[in-house]
Chains A and B, each alone.
Chain A
Amino acid sequence: MDCNRVFVSKVKRLTIVFTLLIAFLSIKIDTFAQVDSAVVPVDSAVAESAHAVSGEHGAEANHGKEKFEPTKVIMEHIADSHMWHLWGHTSLPLPVILYTPNGLEVFSSGNFHHGEHDYNGKYNNYRLEEDHIKVVGADGKVDEEASKAVLDFSITKNVAAMFVAILVILIVFISVAGAYKKRAGKAPRGLQSFIEPVVLFVRDDIAKPNIGHKYAKFMPYLLTTFFFILFNNLFGLIPIFPGGANVTGNIALTFVMALGTLIIVNINGNKYYWKHIFRPDVPFWLYPIMIPVELIGIISKPFALMVRLFANITAGHIIVLSLISLIFIFETLAIAPVSVAFVLFMDVLELLVAFLQAFIFTLLTALFIGMAVEEHH
């Protein structure tokens, strides 16, 4: 009963989200066009009137032109990169791994010197253009055809940040597991008592009510998903080195997570789940409508998960960066206290969102699993 009520509300919400998404997609292009035309004059005006724009990002992005483009700066931060920016002009070079039709190519991204130099690889010449590795043809221009054939498996900033998060997760949970072995049957202590309520929360408030008595089988997946998203969200909030990457705000990562949910749900779907999709309890003549709708539903549920996590985290990063950018847009320190105050507020909100999104992703995954394994009597 309870599950059903939640399900109905979720379906309603999904419908609303989809409607909004479609609405958003339909108006997006026009809006962007408008924004672009509105922003460009302002940007050029800024460039003409002020030569003393401070700020490392603006300087780094334009190398001496001293023109601050907030959109570019923000998008650079949101997107992935082949270097891990530390401070000022210092970046950590990351390994580039390219799968070319001729074979693998591995070299350091430091060879590009922030995109100023080309790199002569074993099979091709490469150039870093807007943080994408492109193949340079014999004429010194980017060869788009050849670039498409090269697959980029580099350890980018997001991959490296994800590895850091995974390392921390492993250290934390294996040490906590050790504490459980060492202090068997006793009350939790230290890190253990910090982790245990969260684990119990996932078990008692996410898995058990949504999945039912078969919950134990899915606990490792749910817990791993929850803590993986949570730790990556939290690391994304740290502005300096080990964090700062927009890992969970990258569509590729949320795509993989949602794909995991899709696979888990459909592998474990029982005959009632499949009957609901292919032989729903509706009049026969509605089948041509219902079956496609149900099939779309299989995809749309994880799709909503993917978009929700991606949009929430990215939006948070964009807002924080926009607020910081205000200082450089207005070119005055006077705005800094306002900016910092708003950023502080947003950071606290993002802290909540970090937990909330991890919770929602896990909850909905549990709900979908619960719907797939539910027994009808």
Chain B
Amino acid sequence: MELVTPSIGLVFWTSLAFICLLILLRKFAWKPILGAIHEREQSIDEALNKAELAKQEMARLTSQNQDLMQQARAERDEILKEAKTLKDSILNEAKKQAQVEGAKLIEKAKIEIENQKKAALAEVKDQVSTLSLEIAERVLRTQLDDKTKQEALVANLLKDVELN
């Protein structure tokens, strides 16, 4: 069977050619191609890992921001609350002080009024006494022409004085 009998020439040339091809391709083709593919795959892997890390970092930052916001909000609320209490206390203080001050003023005014009243009463008494003395003088002058009348008057006056 000629078809299934390997001829020596073709075996020789095929071996030679295949070995040469293997050596040439190994050096000039497979090394750079497989190397480049391997490198590219690694760089893609790396990029994906980096992206994953960046994503995690982003998530971390976002949650951190949220925390900060919440904290800030709580702080603000606290500050507002404090301010309100402070305001209330100040207001109360002021009211109290005002009341005390007012009371004091009223007291003073009362004393003053009392004093003034006393002074006015004293003055009125003075004038009344002066006036009554003048009236008395005049009445006396007119009435005390006679002696009896004078005595009666004195007696009357005395009575009055005693009543006072």
Contact = CB atoms under 8 A, between A and B. Distances in A.
Interface stretch (A38-46, A151-159, A357-365): A151-159
A80 interface: yes
Interface in A121-168: 151-156, 158-159, 162-163, 166
Given A79-B3, A221-B22, A256 B11 contact: yes
Given A196-B37, A220-B30, A80 B25 contact: no
Given A173-B29, A220-B25, A252 B10 contact: yes
Interface in B12-57: 12-15, 17-18, 20-22, 24-26, 28-37, 39-40, 43
A180 interface: yes
Contacts of A156: 9-10
Contacts of B148: none
A251 B4 contact: yes
Interface string A173-216: 11011001100110000000001100110010000000000001
Contacts of A97: 9
Contacts, number: 121
A176 B35 CA distance: 13
B163 interface: no
B2 interface: yes
Contacts of A185: 36, 39-40, 43
B143 to A, nearest CB: 145
B38 to A, nearest CB: 9
Secondary structure dominating the interface of A: helix
Nearest to B14: A256
Interface residues on B, range: 35 or more
Interface in A2-28: none
Contacts of B37: 180, 196, 199-200, 203
Contacts of A251: 3-6
A104 interface: no
B140 to A, nearest CB: 142
A219 interface: yes
Contacts of B22: 220-221, 224
Given A203-B37, A223-B25, 12 more contacts: A80-B7, A158-B10, A159-B14, A166-B21, A173-B30, A177-B29, A177-B31, A184-B39, A185-B43, A220-B22, A224-B30, A314-B3
19 contacts: A75-B3, A78-B3, A80-B10, A152-B8, A152-B9, A159-B17, A170-B21, A173-B29, A173-B30, A180-B32, A181-B36, A185-B39, A196-B37, A199-B33, A199-B34, A220-B25, A228-B21, A256-B11, A314-B3
Interface of A: 75, 78-80, 97, 151-156, 158-159, 162-163, 166, 169-170, 173-174, 176-177, 180-181, 184-185, 195-196, 199-200, 203, 216, 219-221, 223-224, 227-228, 250-253, 255-257, 259-260, 310, 314
Interface of B: 2-15, 17-18, 20-22, 24-26, 28-37, 39-40, 43
